[in-house]
Structure 1
Amino acid sequence: MGTSLDSRADQAAEVVDRLAVEYPDTTISLDFSTRFELLVAVILSAQCTDERVNETTAELFETYPSPEAFANAPQEELAEALNSITYYNNKASYIRESAQLVVDEHDGAVPDTMGDLTELPGVGRKTANVVLQHGHDVVEGIVVDTHVQRITRRVDLTDEERPAKIEEDLMELVPESEWQALTHLFISHGRATCTARNPDCADCVLEDVCPSSKLDSEVDRASGQAW
């Protein structure tokens, strides 16, 4: 859209400020009690709802209480336990292999660096960012999930489409102190209002600063203007 960096920084500040008022208590919605449980939950959450993951992990973490237990679980047995999760066979393999690496190479502890985490099967930068932020209190980047990807483009904070590039743009625009909160604010807004198919622009706290608002188009059409 050709928007300047300064203009986008101002837009980002306005968007984050408004969302922080709208969703003051937003945080991660996955259930976990250990760093390894967090790692498993985030791997399972790829292309799956957090609600479904939480339903599954409630029993899963009782059955497999440690990295060793996951590593020693037969593939078919673990896959069966995950059969309500999308791509459960692949995720069962990722979790078993990651558990084995955690046991063999990290003394049973979940790694605390981006490099070590992204060497684990099924762990990309997004997953690693979540584990670092919520497992180790290390904020090294911004988690770009589908909500962040969608809304940042709608409110003109980026023209990029790939998560890695979107993250780079956002890290330029938003102070580091707000990187972790930004993700949860956008996720909450994406679930409540700015949904993928039918965003509720009429009830959106960002409507007047959002160039993608449907209300502007409706007003233009009603007045006979092109849009």
Structure 2
Amino acid sequence: MTKLMTLAQREAFFSTLQKSNPHPETELAYTSPFELLTAVLLSAQATDISVNKATRKLFLVANTPQKILNLGENGLLPYIASIGLYRMKGKHLLQTCQLLIDLHEGRVPRDRESLEALPGVGRKTANVLLNTLFGEIAMAVDTHIFRVSNRTGLAPGKDVLVVEQQLLKRVPKQYLLHAHHWLILLGRYVCKARSPECSLCTVEPVCQSKEKNFKLR
């Protein structure tokens, strides 16, 4: 079992990440709350690159709930067909647009209960929106964050909810707002699933992983 990071190690971990990227942001492209909601809804089991490629064209013609509804299913699906599970996501997006108009005056709601009531919006998506749009402390635990949290000894847990709860307790308070962005980027580009690039990792000195991967240079 991976050893837990100490408080001093956690402080060093996030201080290092902050120095290299003081203001981390999502890699999903958006210019409005609704565009981010749409992008996050489409991003499940898909890469941000693939989502951005699709929404770049979609948002030129439809970037509000009503405009998406005006497209209808037949008009919407061709724009998102390159994304995995696009038929189900398209159905959820259309249903979500209708609820936004019916219940929220076309706006993205600011509370978790209302967000999670939208089709295709689960706890992780709600956490992304609450944190990125509204500046709330929230941990959107995806596969990258789950892996990094367990591998490094930062906040281990057997499921995503446990990891989320552990992160909220174990991340030093001054780093909580941006922590999930730092962890996603670390997992996406350095602490990869199959071949972690430990020799390039700035937080390797405090990482507690027993299976570090140092490539010969």
State the TM-score, normalizing by the size of structure 1: 0.86
Q: Determine which structure has greater relative contact order: mean sequence separation of CA pairs < 8 Å that are 6+ residues apart, divided by chain length.
A: 2
Q: Does 1:195 align with 2:192?
A: yes
Instruction: Please state how far the C-alpha of 1:214 moved relative to its aligned partner.
Output: 3.6
Partner of 2:30: 32
**Unaligned stretches of 5+ in structure 1?**
219-227
Could you say which residue in structure 2 is the equivalent of 1:18?
A: 16
* Superposed CA offset, 1:130-186 (max 9, x none): 11222223x142121221111011111233132211110011112444223111111
Change (3 A) 1:215 1:167: closer
User: Would you say 1:180 and 2:211 are equivalent positions?
Assistant: no
Q: Are 2:196 and 2:212, in contact at CA under 8 Å, matched by a contact in 1?
A: no
Residue 100 in 1 paired to residue 102 in 2? Answer: no
Which structure would you say has the larger Rg? 1
Residue 44 in 1 paired to residue 77 in 2?
no
Q: Which amino acid aligns with 2:69?
A: A
Match of 2:60, as an amino acid? Answer: E
**Corresponding residue for 1:111?**
109
What displacement does 1:2 show?
8.6
Q: Which amino acid aligns with 1:35?
A: P
Aligned to 1:133: 131
Supply the distance in 1 between the matched residues of 2:8 and 2:52 (Cα, whole angstroms): 37
Counterpart for residue 209 of structure 2 = 212
Q: 1:156–1:2: structure 2 CA closer, same or farther, 3 Å change rule?
A: closer
Does the 8 A contact of 1:23 with 1:188 survive in 2? no
Is residue 143–residue 180 contact of structure 1 (8 Å, CA) maintained in 2?
no
Tell me, yes or no, if the aligned pair for 2:34 and 2:108 is still in contact at 8 Å.
Answer: yes
Q: Which runs of 5+ in 2 are unaligned?
A: none
The answer for the alignment partner of 2:65 in structure 1 is: 67
**Within 2, Cα distance between the matches of 1:65 and 1:190?**
30
Pick closer, same or farther for the CA change 1:216–1:190 going to 2, 3 Å: closer
Offset at residue 72 of structure 1 (A): 3.4
- Compute the TM-score of the two structures, normalised by the length of structure 2: 0.90
The aligned counterpart of 1:152 is 149
Instruction: Rate the CA distance shift 1:119–1:98 in 2: closer, same or farther, 3 A.
Output: same
Structure 1 residue 55 corresponds to structure 2 residue 53: yes
Q: Which moved more, 1:35-44 or 1:18-27?
A: 18-27
What number of residue pairs does the alignment pair up? 215
Structure 2 CA distance for aligned equivalents of residues 77 and 95 of structure 1: 13
| Change beyond 3 A, Cα 1:200–1:78 | same
In structure 2, C-alpha distance between the alignment counterparts of 1:209 and 1:176, rounded to whole Å: 19
Tell me if structure 1 keeps the 8 A contact 2:140–2:164.
yes
Preserved CA contact (<8 Å) 1:8 1:173: no
What is the CA–CA distance in structure 1 between the aligned matches of 2:7 and 2:122, rounded to whole Å? 27
- Following superposition, the deviation at residue 91 of structure 1 comes to 0.6
RMSD, aligned α-carbons? 2.2
